[in-house]
Each structure stands twice: as C-alpha cells, then as structure tokens.
Amino acid sequence: MQSFSFHCHTVFSDGMNTVEEMILAAKNAGFTHLGISDHLIVPKMSDFSEKIDSYRQHVQHIRSASDRFNFPVYVGFETDYFPQDGWGEALRMFKETVKADYLLTGNHFVSGEDGEYYPILKFPWQEISAKEANKIISKHFQNISQAVRSGLFDFLAHPDFIRWSSPCGETDFVAERMDIIEALSETHLPVELNTKGLRKIGDFYPANWMLKEIAKRKIPLLISDDAHDITDVGSHFDLAEKRLSETGNVVRIDLATKINNALQKKSA
C-alpha cells in the first residue's frame, strides 16, 4: 500500500488540524513521509506580494516541525490556475521566494460569463441555463488542460472535482476531459487518484474511464487522501489500491525522488 501522500491541508488553509497534528497522524498511519499542500489561490497577480510573508512563515513552520518529529515532510501548495499574462512567472517567483518544494494544480473555481471567478461549490448552477452551464464547465476543463501544459506544476489534483457540484456527471464532457489526459501524456505530468471524491460523491477523482485512459498512456500516478483532518490521513488507500490493481499497468510515482534530486542539484 502506498505509504505517503503529497496532498493534505492544515489550519493554515481550510484544514481542521495543525501541522504538528497532521505529521503525527501520518506517522501513526505508517507513512514514510508526507507532503503538506495548503491552498494558494491568487486570481490577481498583485495578491502574490501580500501573501509572501505568511506563506514563507508557514513553510518554515513545517520545516521545523519536520525536524522536531524527525519525520520527512515536503512543503507544497495546491494552486488554482489563473491564465493571465505574467501570472505563471509570478507563481514561479513566489515558489522560489517562499522556498516551497512543489506545486500541484487543483482547480476549484469557474470563470463566469462576466469574466469573474466563482468557487465551484458555491456557483448558482440552478439559476443558469443548461447552455450557459455547458459553456462554463467546458471552459473550466480547458483551463485545466492549460494548467497541465503550463509546465508550472508537479502534479495534477482531482481533474474532475467539478462533478462534486455542477451538472457535470461521470461521463460528461468527454472531449474536454480527454484533452486533459492528452496534455498529461504530452508533458508526462503525474496525476493523482484522489480518495476525497469517495467521501464527497462516492467515487474517486478522476472517474474510472479516465483512469483507464491514464493507465493506457502510462501517465505516472500517485494516490492522494486530500486530507482536511487527521481522520482523512491515508483514508481509503486500500480501496484506491484495489481500483489501481483492477485497472492494471498503472505507472506509480513518489514525488520524493524528484524533489530530493532537485534539492541536491541546487545545493551542488
């Protein structure tokens, strides 16, 4: 069974537990290492600068907790992708400045007809026409493809999270979701099998048909618990392993190797 996760949250963003409590939970779950990935949501480029101090402190806090618990912890951030000129470069600079180890792109917003961004879970889907909803969801998936192709991220989180709250069902928007898979295949960007979907909609993210396409293309994959509290740590990894063995030929990845190699290169 996979004994790590690179996707979890603390009270720094929308998690329920502290860094220390999450590390302890990972140790208790038999993990060998952990990646903590609180949210980084920056729709306006000017918002990067005001976040720097608190994010840098958070990174240092995790590093010192990792030392105190004598347990390897990597620091990442889960980032929505906002495509505007210069945004990617600003994100790269931000990551360097706060000294984070990795970035995952997890997308929780849709862009409305008015060009504003709205959280998917609070979007008034009932109040708009089916045609309008289709346009918004299609654009959301295209945005994820763009995020994958941007080269900014270390893996893709929950590609079809939007199923949680929108008219998008398991087998809708196939062309758009296939394009995300094509983008992953072109860029060799890893993707996660997210067990939070099981807790929210009774199914993994991504849907099973997507997982099969991912396996066919040998796209590297890791299991994520997307833990928001200590009871979520390692949650449903047994079912995730079962799903992966049923799928067959899934290429697995542990980001630790990549991160450690990058760190070694830097210090050399």
Q: Segment near Zn ion (CB under 5 A), from 77-85, 135-143, 170-178, 184-192?
A: 77-85
* Burial (0-12, 13-18, 19+ Cβ within 10 Å), 118: middle
**Alpha carbon distance 169, 162 (integer Å):** 9
Per CB under 5 A, the segment of 61-69, 76-84, 136-144, 206-214 that binds Zn ion is: 76-84
Rounded Cα distance between 176 and 137, Å, is 9
Residue 260: CB partners within 8 Å, gap ≥ 6? none
Q: State which residue, 98 or 144, has the beta carbon closest to Zn ion.
A: 144
Contacts with Zn ion: how many residues (CB under 5 A)?
3
The token pair that represents 157 in the structure block: 């989180």
Among 106, 159, 220, 234, binds Zn ion (CB under 5 A): 106
Applying CB under 5 A, does 226 fall inside the site for Zn ion? yes
Task: List the one residue out of 40, 22, 71 whose CA is nearest residue 157.
Answer: 40
In the bound complex, what is the minimum distance in angstroms from residue 111's beta carbon to Zn ion?
17
Contacting range for Zn ion; rule: CB under 5 A; set: 22-30, 99-107, 125-133, 171-179: 99-107
76 touches Zn ion (CB under 5 A): no
* Least Å from the CB of residue 13 to Zn ion: 8
Nearer to Zn ion, 94 or 161 (CB): 161
- Nearer to Zn ion (CB atom), residue 196 or residue 243: 196
Q: How far is CA 64 from CA 12, 19, 67, in A?
A: 15, 10, 5
Work out how close the CB of 234 gets to Zn ion at its nearest, in angstroms, rounded to a whole number. 15
The alpha carbon of residue 70 and the mean position of all alpha carbons in its chain are separated, in whole angstroms, by 26
Nearer to Zn ion, 39 or 258 (CB): 39
Minimum distance, C-beta of residue 70 to Zn ion, in the bound complex (Å): 26
**Nearest residue (CB) to Zn ion, 77 versus 87:** 77
Q: Which is nearer to Zn ion, 106 or 220 (CB)?
A: 106
Contact region with Zn ion (CB under 5 A), list: 73-81, 113-121, 126-134, 141-149: 73-81
- The Cα–Cα gap between 147 and 41 comes to 14
211 neighbors 242 (Cβ within 8 angstroms): no
Contact segment (CB under 5 A) with Zn ion among 60-68, 106-114, 170-178, 239-247 equals 106-114
Residue nearest to Zn ion (CB): 106
Q: What angle, 0 to 180 degrees and rounded to 10, lies between the N-to-C axes of helices 47-68 and 19-28?
A: 50
Does the protein bind Zn ion through residue 15 (CB under 5 A)? no
Tell me the C-alpha to C-alpha distance, in Å, between residue 201 and each of 86, 88, 169, 245.
Answer: 36, 32, 11, 22
Tell me how far, at minimum, the Cβ of 245 lies from Zn ion, in Å. 25
Between 21 and 128, CB nearer to Zn ion: 21
Amino acid in position 229: D
| Degrees to nearest 5, angle at CA 19 with 14 and 21 | 100
Judged by the rule CB under 5 A, the positions of this chain that interact with Zn ion are 78, 106, 226
